[in-house]
Chains A and B, each alone.
Chain A
């Protein structure tokens, strides 16, 4: 952590993973979150329509407010895995350390976002579909596979082996992540009869006015949060890499110093023995 004295002396505002940019973005996100909560819970109306035939009230009622968290999480997951795939291609083509770290940091956020997509979707499904989960639903199952694949990617990054082989193996799984993301996204169109999930809400113009605005705002907010987490995640990954390298350098230096001390002791002993003989 940079002290006030250091800031005055160096003019730097950086902390371990924080900087002026992340701090400003962080504050903007806090304000943005307050606005999002106001839009989602106060400004927008519940989804209530009147059935033309029976005259009864139908719709999602207040459960519709869950889409302001569920859909942005899914979009953040798709974006995160796309960035991971781009990074993975760059790793394979150029052995780029920078892209390797970006890919890893992005996949971590993608795993969190896809887990939240499953959780919030499941909670939303209970009042709307009358079930939390269906094992034969293609959208649910492909999303679950996506989440598991993301965990697999993160596990592969931690496998034993040289940095190069580890990065290359992870990169191949990283590319699979974006392919699976496309399958998840398109599954409601390709296998429409095998899912309870509705098709695209935005392109079908199923929502409008303030609800649409809140929906879009929530997506932009989610993506801004992703950017903040990606910067932080990248910096942590960079620190991990540096720590690994400096830990190794330090260990080598200690070993070298130890060997030199042993040599010096041996030389002294030899000299002593020589003197005696």
Chain B
């Protein structure tokens, strides 16, 4: 196989960056979920749907 170093660098950087981003995203979610009541954690109700930016 030719260009092994380039392949490792290219695919490796993709795995590394996406992996770090995914891990950070999941950690952010877990941390925030501890601060928000369970019934308010998901966007599910029609009331949520009707909500507009700037509404109190």
Contacts and interface: CB of A to CB of B under 8 A. Distances in A.
B21 A95 contact: no
Contact of A243 (B9, B30, B35, B49): B35
A112 B17 contact: yes
Contacts of B48: 97-98
A235 B52 contact: no
Interface of A: 1, 14-17, 46, 61-63, 65-66, 69-70, 73, 91, 94-98, 100, 112, 115-116, 119-120, 123-124, 126-127, 162-164, 167, 225, 229, 232-236, 238-240, 242-243, 246-247
Interface residues of B, number: 36
B2 A236 contact: no
Interface string B5-35: 0110111011001100110011011101101
Contact of A239 (B33, B53, B54): B33
Contact of A233 (B25, B37, B52): B25
Main secondary structure of the interface of A (DSSP, over half): helix
Contacts of B28: 236, 240
Contact of B2 (A62, A96, A123): A62
Given A61-B2, A116-B13, A127-B3, 16 more contacts: A1-B30, A16-B41, A17-B26, A17-B29, A66-B6, A97-B52, A97-B53, A98-B48, A116-B17, A119-B17, A120-B14, A123-B6, A163-B54, A235-B42, A239-B32, A242-B40
A96 B48 CA distance: 10
A115 B18 CA distance: 11
Choose among A100, A120, A233 the residue with the greatest number of B CB atoms under 10 Å from its CB: A120
